[in-house]
Chain A
Amino acid sequence: AQKITQTQPGMFVQEKEAVTLDCTYDTSDPSYGLFWYKQPSSGEMIFLIYQGSYDQQNATEGRYSLNFQKARKSANLVISASQLGDSAMYFCAMIARNNNDMRFGAGTRLTVKP
């Protein structure tokens, strides 16, 4: 069975500082993808970054980077130089190649302070 765990219900960060949002996962499938989505109060899920299980390097997309530690089954999101507009819910998700349903964690609410 696949499972995603986000243990931080809420996080605060000062504007312009970096913040790490934690995510651990569990799957028996050797081929899988890990995703991070941002969900502002409007409700739309905005894709941020993707990491494949066979990717050798950690994924980066602008100010977002994914700290992928396969042996520890963790896929933490790092946001550098936080901006006020980064305040939102952040969800970690996983989908395995042999399964078509994307599993989401419970989410972390990030608040950026001016």
Chain B
Amino acid sequence: DAGVTQSPTHLIKTRGQQVTLRCSPKSGHDTVSWYQQALGQGPQFIFQYYEEEERQRGNFPDRFSGHQFPNYSSELNVNALLLGDSALYLCASSPLSGRAVGEQFFGPGTRLTVL
């Protein structure tokens, strides 16, 4: 049973460029959340997708957008990259009804570096 997978593992972009990160949830999970983790900090919630719609959003600008596909996989898009967007981007999946409130399983992350 595959866990949460993310691609690519590492990415280097320059300021002003656009980037797309991808996530495949754990089998049986239909909800995907994205987090940004800056160096030395805890993860910060970006948004959550369920049934192909953005269900909730954290305090991130509109440059951050996402999408969920019918197979529950998801993409995170960031436009007009800034140096401050350099971070580890984590994807987490969860079942709509799970043992725990919001129990989430995380992928290995995509490390984005903006030069």
Residue ranges of A at the interface with B (Cβ–Cβ < 8 Å): 4, 31-33, 35, 37, 42-47, 50, 52, 91, 93, 95-97, 99-107
Contacts and interface: CB of A to CB of B under 8 A. Distances in A.
Nearest to B55: A100
Interface of B: 33, 35, 41-45, 48, 55-56, 58, 88, 90, 92, 99-109, 111
Given A45-B90, A99-B56, A100-B33, A31 B42 contact: no
B108 A106 contact: no
A51 to B, nearest CB: 9
Given A43-B88, A45-B90, A107-B42, A102 B102 contact: yes
Contacts of B111: 43
B103 A35 contact: yes
B45 A43 contact: no
